[in-house]
């Protein structure tokens, strides 16, 4: 039986420590000195928590990113959105198809470029985004609680700075 | 033409700043206050750098992780390896099939459990792992250089601590 699928919020520190003891003593070897290994583990955990917290709205991280950036930049072109989020064009089209089908986004012909589309949220999309932001706030609060406030702030500072450079 | 596919190591700080200025002023909206957004951007960059640095050996991050942990724990079972790396069983079998085909790993019948396999590196696999560790060291040095040593150490400390808890 595995208890690793439990919501970590439901597991006390004591229970967690006990579980650690039960685990086989497997050495990580050189992985222990790779930041990428630990960042990947953390990123997977964050996405799982995000998906769980937004499950009632059935919205995935990429969909949330797309809705948020369109909401903050009405009329944005698909190519600028793809560049901003570093999403491949084909994948973005797929995400937009899904959001459009649910009535949250619209593609209008661009006033500047016939080959491009200007992206907008529908009124329904704006309402949904407001709801999603509230749920995403709960996810973020859980993240702060899990890492501790100082660690959270340090990590956000480091990676934000990196995001500006990359 | 896009210059975003250039190796970032080949782009001077000055060129990078110029490129930033050229970018459209797209607002991130609420994404800017999500650690998960920035961690995901960073993790994608790290994996791309890792894959590029190990391209001559044609080894992906998951394959490297599997070789490293088997190398550090000869005779490890498939299920303990999957648990340690939090890889789904089916995906692990796929990775092991590829590594076995290249002559780097072997599955022996487990002495303790007939349903399980004990995993070992072949002499060829040990040689390859030594070579990969040298390449992965270059990737890590590049990471330290990119983040700055203090940021690198802070991030490793924070996420290692998280990895112990999760």
Supply the CATH number for residue B57's domain.
1.10.10.10
* Shortest Cα distance, chain A CAs vs residue B92, angstroms: 16
How much is the mean pLDDT over chain B?
Answer: 86
Q: Is B97 part of a structural domain of the chain?
A: yes
Best mutation target among B3, B24, B27, B35 (most A Cβ atoms within 10 Å) is B35
Tell me whether residue A71 is in a domain: yes
**Residue-range definition of the domain harbouring residue B134:** 33-165
Residue B23 banded pLDDT, cuts 50, 70, 90 = low
CA–CA distance, B74 with B81 (Å, rounded to integer):
11
pTM: 0.82
Sheet holding B105-109, edge to edge: B76-77, B117-121, B105-109
Nearest to A39 among B28, B43, B83 (CB): B43
Q: Residue A22 domain-assigned? A: no
SS3 at position A76:
strand
Does a structural domain hold residue A148?
A: yes
Instruction: Check if B87 contacts A (Cβ < 8 Å).
Output: no
Interface contact B36-A68, CB threshold 8 A: no
Q: Any chain B CB within 8 A of the CB of A166? A: yes
Q: Do B163 and A38 touch (CB under 8 A)?
A: yes
Q: Quick: pLDDT tens for B49-97.
A: 999 999 999 999 999 999 999 999 999 999 999 999 999 999 999 999 9
Chain B contact for A90 (CB, 8 A cutoff): no
SS3 B109: strand
Burial of B43 (0-12, 13-18, 19+ CB in 10 A): buried
Q: How many CB pairs under 8 A join A and B?
A: 177
In a domain, A81, yes or no: yes
Between B162 and A122, name the one with better pLDDT: A122
- Residues A82 and A122: their CA atoms lie apart, in Å, by 20
What local confidence, expressed as pLDDT, does residue B165 receive? Answer: 65
Query: How close B101 comes to chain A (CA, Å)?
Result: 23
Please report the pLDDT score of residue B20 as a whole number.
Answer: 44
Which residue from B minimizes the CA distance to A45? B166
B38 and A163 within 8 Å at the Cβ level: the answer is yes
CA distance A81 to A17: 43
Q: What sign results for the dihedral spanned by CA atoms A56, A57, A63, A69?
A: negative
Whether residue A103 is contained in a domain is answered as yes
Task: Give tens-digit pLDDT for B32-44.
Answer: 999 999 999 999 9
* Contact across the interface for B163 and A42, Cβ inside 8 Å: yes
Structural domains in chain A (count): 1
A58-65's contacts with Cβ under 8 Å and 24+ in sequence apart are A59/A132, A61/B36, A61/B40, A62/A87, A62/A91, A62/A95, A63/A95, A63/A98, A63/A99, A64/A132, A64/A136, A65/B31, A65/B37
Residue of B nearest to A34 (CA): B140
Q: Is residue A10 part of a domain?
A: no
| Mean confidence (pLDDT) of chain A | 86
B51 lies in some domain: yes
**Segment A71-109, tens digit of pLDDT:** 999 999 999 999 999 999 999 999 999 999 999 999 998
The ipTM, to two decimals, is 0.83
Instruction: Report the candidate in B113, B111, B132 with the shortest Cα–Cα distance to residue B121.
Output: B132
**What b-and-e string marks burial along A99-129, b requiring 16 or more CB atoms within 10 Å of the CB?**
beeeebbbbeebeeeeeebbbbbeeebbebb
Cβ–Cβ contact B112 with A under 8 A? no
Strand partners, B76: B119
């Amino acid at each position: 039986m595995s208890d690793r699928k439990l919501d970590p919020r439901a597991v006390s520190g004591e229970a967690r420590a006990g579980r650690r003891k039960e685990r086989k003593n497997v050495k990580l070897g050189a992985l222990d000195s790779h930041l990428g290994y630990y960042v990947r583990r953390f990123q997977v955990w964050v996405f799982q928590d995000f998906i769980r917290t937004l499950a009632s709205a059935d919205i995935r991280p990429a969909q949330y990113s797309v809705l948020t950036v369109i909401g903050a930049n009405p009329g944005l072109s698909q190519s600028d959105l793809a560049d901003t989020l570093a999403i491949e064009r084909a994948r973005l089209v797929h995400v937009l198809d899904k959001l459009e089908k649910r009535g949250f986004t619209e593609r209008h012909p661009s006033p500047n470029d016939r080959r491009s589309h200007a992206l907008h949220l529908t009124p329904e999309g704006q309402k949904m985004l407001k709801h999603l932001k509230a749920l995403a706030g709960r996810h973020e609060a859980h993240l702060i609680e899990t890492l501790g406030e100082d660690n959270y702030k340090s990590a956000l500072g480091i990676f934000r700075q990196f995001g500006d450079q990359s």
